[in-house]
Amino acid sequence: MSQYHSVLPIAEEALQHTLSHMLPADADDGDLYLQSASSESLALEEGRVKHISASSRQGIGARVIKGEAAGHAFTDRLEPAALLQAAKSARAIAGDGGNAAPVNIHAGIAVPSLYQAVNPADGVDFSQRKALLEQLDGLARGLDPRVRQVFASISSTFSDIHIVRMDGAHLHDVRPLVRLNVSVVVEENGQRETGSAGGGGRFSLQRLIDGDGPQRWVREAVRLATLNLGAHAAPAGTMPVVLGSGWPGILLHEAIGHGLEGDFNRKGTSVFADKLGKQVAARGITVVDDGSIAERRGSLTIDDEGTPSQRTVLIEDGILIGYLCDRQNARLMGMQSTGNGRRESYAHPIQPRMTNTFMLAGNDTPEDVLASLDRGIYAVNFGGGQVDITSGKFVFTTSEAYYVENGVIQYPVKGATLIGSGHEVLHKVSMIGNDLALDPGVGTCGKGGQSVPVGVGLPTIRIDELTVGGTQT
Amino acid sequence: MNGATEQLIAIATEAGAIHADAIAVANSGDSIAVRNGAVESVEREDSCGIGLRAFVATPAENHQKQGCGMAFATASTSDLSADGLHKLAQQVIAMARISEPDPDAVPPIGADHPSQAELHGWQQTHDHTNAGWSLEQAKAAALACEETALAYDHAINNSEGADAGFGSSHMAYCSSDGFAALYHKGSASLSVSVIAGSGEGMQRDYSWHQALHAADLHSPEQIANEAAQRVVRRLNPGTMASGKTTVVFEPRTATSLLGHLTSAINGRAVLQQRSFLTDALGQSLFPNSVCIDDIPNHPQGLGNRLFDGEGTRCHSNRLIADGVLACFLTDRYAAKRLQQPPTGSAKRGLTGDIAIGASNLIWQPGTLSQQAMVAEIGNGLLVTELIGFGINGITGDYSRGASGFLIENGILTRPVQGITIAGNLKQMFAQVTHVGADLTWFGSSAVPSIAIAGMTVAGQ
């Protein structure tokens, strides 16, 4: 496949001119962020691929940072006049001081790419994608006669970004992202249930189609839906919980990940703000955020400020040792950016965000972890979660879970929300499996109205106490 | 902008579309955030885009295999140049030719459009682009709001800041049957979020308001005092015993119940059997005192609209009439398949297919104050915050994280957090015991306090 060649979508002179008018002499930081993004999506329902859509958008975000203040303006109009207007708006946070010295735009430090610089849709025409969805529909219906509805979608996005920093350094990244989702509705004796599965990452659609993922996800969706047909009410109350490996890592994302983002800690609004160097988890627990894993959904060659992504250890053997930082929060806290400055697009301001967040493996076998459960819940898969970073209360909701007695699975239970405290829950982890797995590439994280792709991972773990929000008392 | 949509329809028709509709959107806005008395951020938006939906006929040779319906596709771009519009039209038509035809497809012709006189009348009464604020005025409001909240009580010792924003949006819609219309809308908002307590005892709460004009916003002091009162009263929370109890949703949390109801009566979800209310039309879902309306022209509603995303004239819909589910929300496609009149509920973004959503939702209030409800209930839980997404739309199973206040012997006694509330939405709707008089607007929905018996709390 041919590599994609990108050029700045606007003349270098115009960018230079804009920078010099945007940046006051006493600015701490600032940049122009030029993005051209396109996406394509096909969706099947009721046996027909009748929703095909595409979008393309390009624009420029202008940013000025001074102390704790940030000015951000964007325009969809790639014209020098619109750009200059955005630059002036971004400068509104600064005083009337003189302009910064003019800079020459030059290539920034080259960073080896973690993914191919391709439009992921190249080489796979619409009819090929349509045929795949139709094939998956047939597969799902053939797997179980109780399947009544099949929804399948395949999407690709392609984002070409240029960052021109205050010092003129020009950084460039081309980010492919693909995703396939399947969900089914099953019905038996008038009772309906649903199950879904999917995956993807930063690679080409061809790879997604050629792999065995789509067929596996169909089987998984049908298995989950039919399993839920026989689910009992979940218990209500506080009890031990075993989390399976992989996507249940959303626990880490909600319970501690957001609470360790630099902005909340600089401002003292996170329950973790005064805990650096302190024990926040049981010994043996190590949690990292790693944006530098090749082709993962949450990975970035460089973040949206041009900082190379990295592996950041957040908790080492139970001790909190790091926060996730963008450039502004790092500077204000006397730290280094960890390459976690992210934005949904040029139309959004930079925030410190997670990439791929996971716990390292321990020594227990997953079988032993499950066998330790006298009476409790074994939660294998989850839907979404949410956290209040100030009180530390977090929730996540099961989509596949079982009631367990004496280490033996008794029956599946309906979806229930689990609730705990981020600063307490990791102290209660008493067993860590040797089976670390990352999720299949489906995570999207929301913060302050911005959505970004992320990943999570977890080995099988036992938590001695978590509140399970079922209906059975 | 109307020019661009009409031009795009012409280009699409020339390129092979039998029917098409287009929307164009342009937004501009400013917002300012202050924290601890200083400006933290200034943001400026200047966006534009155009979206096209084009229908093509199934080739005759495929009629036997595919039926003789029409197929369509959608696409959008931020490139409004002539070249950009041509590329967009060609892309959409190429995609539509691959898309599978649907015998029930409803092309954008012959909708019940509003008349020119109605459009003109609406523009006179509703259109405005000036939210009534300058950046300096917004900054002053944000500063006053945060300062008042921080000064409210010595327990309030930190701030996530106050945010004031204003802007305008312009939306043009045009369909190939000749209907073309333009909307202008301005709005302003003010919010504040403050923190009380320290370390692991910290609590945060917030308040916000949004209105079409800055002049209609709650005062900075009112917003500040609400956030401050809320954060102080939730300090030092405990937990509570697990068990069945009556839950009172204050208006802020009760809005989510309206959201769950409208998701379940969304005609598209009903057609796809993805709703627990698929078979519930005409059934008594709530006690017969409950009425819920979709009202597209309400003096306080931010969801006002003359026509929907397909150009269909909007009118009021009583969704729940004396407790009975009276209709599903529909666009023209869902209406045709469900054999009911369209409710004018098509929602159209730049990208993607038409979605379905209400205009302004109103849960008609009862006569009791929240205090009187709490007194009548005696023992239970007042829920003031919900987190998480534990709703199964297909079964109605409900389980969410909650915080609030314990109700003991008819009064609120102490704050609780770290608990969940669970039930099944269909049973919850049937077990509404009280509807408050305290109707409160949140953007495009208005709801009073609602009490529901028989929910399960998981705590200690």
Q: What is the mean pLDDT of residues A411-420?
A: 95
Q: For position B68, what pLDDT does the model report?
A: 63
Asked if residue B430 is part of any domain, the answer here is yes
How many angstroms away from the CA of A431 is the closest CA of chain B? 23
Q: Is residue B407 part of a domain?
A: yes
How many domains, chain B? Answer: 1
Output the pLDDT for position B65: 58
A62's enclosing H/E stretch is strand A48-66
Instruction: Identify the pLDDT of residue A101.
Output: 84
Is B430:B264 a contact under the CB 8 Å cutoff? Answer: no
Q: Which residues 245-274 of B have a C-beta within 8 angstroms of A?
A: 272-274
> How many residues appear in chain B?
460
pLDDT interval class at B239 (50, 70, 90): very high
Q: Are A328 and A340 in contact (CB under 8 A)?
A: no
Question: pLDDT digits over B277-328, tens only?
Answer: 999 999 999 999 999 999 999 988 999 999 999 999 999 999 999 999 999 9
Q: Does A267 touch chain B (CB under 8 A)?
A: yes
Q: Where are the domains of chain A?
A: 12-229, 236-469
pLDDT of residue A96: 72
Of the candidates B38, B39, B419, the beta carbon closest to that of A467 is on B419
Burial class (CB in 10 A: 0-12, 13-18, 19+), B200: middle
pLDDT category at B61 given cuts 50, 70, 90 is: low
In sequence order, what are the beta bridge partners of B49?
B25
Residue of B44, B77, B102 lying closest to A48 (CB–CB): B102
- Any A CB within 8 A of B100 CB: yes
Can you tell me the distance from the alpha carbon of B164 to that of A310, in angstroms, rounded to the nearest whole number? 36
Tell me whether A45 touches chain B (CB under 8 Å): yes
The stretch B104-116 carries a mean pLDDT of 94
State the smallest CA–CA distance between residue B439 and chain A in angstroms.
27
Asked if the model's pLDDT at residue A1 lies above 50, the reply is: no
CB contact under 8 A, A69 and B41: yes
B447 occurs within a structural domain: yes
The pLDDT tens digits of the residues spanning B349-404 come to: 998 889 999 999 999 999 999 999 999 999 999 999 999 999 999 999 999 999 99
Fold of A12-229: PmbA/TldD fold (3.30.2290)
pLDDT digits (tens, 9 = 90+) for A200-239: 999 999 999 999 999 999 999 999 999 999 999 999 999 9
What is d(CA B15, CA A209) in angstroms, rounded to the nearest whole number?
31
Q: Do B42 and A89 touch (CB under 8 A)?
A: yes
State the pLDDT at residue B86: 97
pLDDT over 70 (residue B84): yes
Upper half-sphere CA count for residue B258 (Cβ side, 13 Å): 30
What confidence score (pLDDT) does residue A11 get? 85
Give the pLDDT confidence score for residue A98 in this predicted structure: 80
Q: How far is CA A233 from CA A109, A168, A228, A407, B301, in A?
A: 56, 60, 11, 20, 39
Q: Does B102 touch chain A (CB under 8 A)?
A: yes
Residue B291 inside a domain? The answer is yes
Residues 6+ positions from A52 with CB-CB distance below 8 Å: A40, A41, A42, A43, A126, A130, B73, B74, B95, B96, B98, B99
* pLDDT for A2 beyond 90: no
Which of B49, B96, B203 is closest, CB to CB, to A390? Answer: B203
Angle at A361 between CA A359 and CA A366, to 5 degrees: 115
If you measure CA to CA, which chain A residue comes closest to B36? A267
CA distance A74 to A156: 24
CA A459 – CA A443 distance, rounded (Å):
17
- Which chain B residues have a beta carbon less than 8 Å from that of A58? 78-79
Q: Is B81 helix (H, G, I), strand (E, B) or coil?
A: coil
Residue B420 with chain A: CB contacts under 8 Å: 236, 395, 416-417, 419, 467-469
- CB-based contact B454:B424 (threshold 8 Å): no
Q: ipTM score of the complex?
A: 0.94
A vs B: CB pairs below 8 A: 269
Domain assignment present for residue B103? The answer is no
Q: Which of B96, B436, B386 is nearest to B257 (CA)?
A: B386
Contact state of B99 with A93 under an 8 Å Cβ cutoff:
no
| CA A320 to each of CA A286, A421, B98, B247: distance values in angstroms, whole numbers, following the listed order | 9, 16, 54, 38
Average pLDDT on B153-167 reads 97
Are B420 and A395 a contacting pair at CB < 8 A? yes
User: What percent of chain B is predicted at pLDDT more than 90?
Assistant: 92
